[in-house]
């Protein structure tokens, strides 16, 4: 078997999927559909401060790198798709993404990630789905694992492993279809396809002396790269992108999380 399904079966068979629900004894009926289990414990968040680093390699708001302990949780394996979001609109009457009425962009494709969402849109969808937005820390752990990978797949960027501006695809692709863009836990598209909202306000890390007028309850943190964003800095797992909650943009999507 090839493709995404074959990859998932291989991980389970080999026993290397850290987030595999069966490996931690979770009954099959308790596994939320389409979600991946992230076990409790510590992970490395942020970037290591070194001489000679450029801002594309590590932003000053990513220092200091620090250990964060999280409780176990679930996170969507894939970004929320157009089809899933359309069902939400039909059920609630929520406004459609503005891009759906913009003829300068391709027509919304059901299996592609939904984009052009504000934080309020993303939060409303997750609440309707019986979930919530992940925190910045939850998102980052799911993307890079416990050892602080730069990208979900490792330490070296490869444009063929994801969908960002450098990849040359020119538009979103079906969620979960880029097999190289998979995290240590088996979560897809965390480096590209669509940037993703988190629940976290943009603030400095504990131990940081950085001061910015943007810090506080003004902007939410977005994570990951998008089809139209350069790989550096956005596609790195540690990158922090501060965006006003009311702002929607054609590279902004989402995935949801849920307490375990």
Instruction: Name the more confident of 12 and 117.
Output: 117
> Running DSSP on this structure, what letter comes out for residue 187?
-
Mean pLDDT of 160-175: 98
Dihedral, CA atoms, 98, 101, 107, 112, nearest 10 degrees? 20
pLDDT by residue (tens digit) across 34-88? 999 999 999 999 998 875 667 677 889 999 999 999 999 999 999 999 999 999 9
pLDDT at 10 over 50: no
Query: CA-CA distance, 216 to 14, in Å (whole number)?
Result: 44
pLDDT at 184 over 60: yes
Instruction: Name the more confident of 162 and 8.
Output: 162
Average pLDDT over the chain reads 91
Mean pLDDT of 155-178: 97
pLDDT at 214 over 90: yes
Q: Which two tokens stand for residue 89?
A: 């609109």
Nearest to 226 by CA among 116, 107, 77, 65: 116
Q: Where are the beta strands (DSSP E) in the chain?
A: 35-38, 41-45, 66-70, 73-76, 195-201, 220-223, 241-243, 252-253, 257-259
Query: CA-CA distance, 118 to 72, in Å (whole number)?
Result: 27
Mean pLDDT of 200-212: 95
pTM summary value = 0.90
pLDDT of residue 152: 98
């Amino acid at each position: 078997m090839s493709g995404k399904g074959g990859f998932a079966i291989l991980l389970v068979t080999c026993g290397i999927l850290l987030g595999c629900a069966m490996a931690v004894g979770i009954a099959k009926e308790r596994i939320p559909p389409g979600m991946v289990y992230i076990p409790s414990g510590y992970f490395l968040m942020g970037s290591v401060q070194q001489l000679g680093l450029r801002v594309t390699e590590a932003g000053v708001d990513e220092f200091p790198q620090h250990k964060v302990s999280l409780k176990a949780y679930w996170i969507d394996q894939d970004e929320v798709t157009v089809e899933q979001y359309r069902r939400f609109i039909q059920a609630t009457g929520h406004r459609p993404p503005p891009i759906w009425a913009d003829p300068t962009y391709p027509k919304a494709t059901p299996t592609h990630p939904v984009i052009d969402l504000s934080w309020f849109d993303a939060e409303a969808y997750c609440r309707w789905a019986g979930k919530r937005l992940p925190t910045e820390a939850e998102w980052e752990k799911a993307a890079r694992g416990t050892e602080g990978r730069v990208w979900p797949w490792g330490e070296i960027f490869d444009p063929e492993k994801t969908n960002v501006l450098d990849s040359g695809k020119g538009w979103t692709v079906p969620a979960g279809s880029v097999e190289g863009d998979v995290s240590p836990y088996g979560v897809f598209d965390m480096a590209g396809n669509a940037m993703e909202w988190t629940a976290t306000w943009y603030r400095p890390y504990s131990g940081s002396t950085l001061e910015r007028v943007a810090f506080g309850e003004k902007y939410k943190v977005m994570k990951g790269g998008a089809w139209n964003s350069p790989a550096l800095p956005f596609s790195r797992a540690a990158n922090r992108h501060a965006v006003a909650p009311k702002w929607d943009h054609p590279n902004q999507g989402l995935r949801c999380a849920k307490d375990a």
